[in-house]
Amino acid sequence: MKALHSFILLLSLTLAACGGGTSNESEAQATPPAMTPEEKMLAEGKGVGEIKFVELKTPLEAERVDRGKAIYDMKCAACHKLTDKRFVGPGFQDVTNRRKPEWIMNMVTNVEVMLEKDEEAQKLLQLCLTRMPNQNVSIGDARDILEFMRSNDGEK
């Protein structure tokens, strides 16, 4: 009888040592690691930067559209056309239909980091072969440019 108890004990220890029970290690492998806030923004197509959420209003804000056009004329028009034609940089037509508002504003205000970390920004760099310069656009000015872009894309 003592031999039977010893055998059962030995068998139990052997099974436990060989992974016969549940393993926290296998559970950890099944659960993907949590995303950083930056990785989450990239995955959501919002780019990288201070702009995490943009609330768009309908109808367009006319004052913002006017200010955005003035900023476009001063800082953007030398490289970007309002059509879909590439000039130095990509054309602006339909950009608000292709990109999230947060991505557009982060690209305008945080261009260096966007070109370093955002896959879509990197594709544009490969296409145009010219880095977008940092124009030191404030977040408020970037919001005005976005509103002008929405107007250019036919939003009312």
Residues 6+ apart with CB under 8 A from 136: none
Q: Above 50 in pLDDT, residue 9? A: no
Tokens 């900023």 — which residue?
71
Residues 6+ apart with CB under 8 A from 78: 88
Record the tokens describing residue 74, joined without a space.
Answer: 């001063």
pLDDT, tens digit, for every residue of 83-113? Answer: 999 999 999 999 999 999 999 999 999 999 9
Mean pLDDT of the chain, nearest integer: 87
Contact 114, 106 (CB under 8 A): yes
Q: What φ, ψ does residue 34 adopt, rounded to 5°?
A: -65, 145
Of 1-10, 88-97, 123-132, the one with minimum mean pLDDT is 1-10
Task: Give the angle subtended at the CA of 58 by the CAs of 101 and 86, to the nearest 5°.
Answer: 40
Note the pLDDT of residue 33: 84
Quote the tokens at residue 141. Answer: 């000015």
Catalogue all structural domains in the chain, each as residue range(s) with its CATH number: 37-152 (1.10.760.10)
Give CA–CA dist 117/139, Å, rounded.
Answer: 20
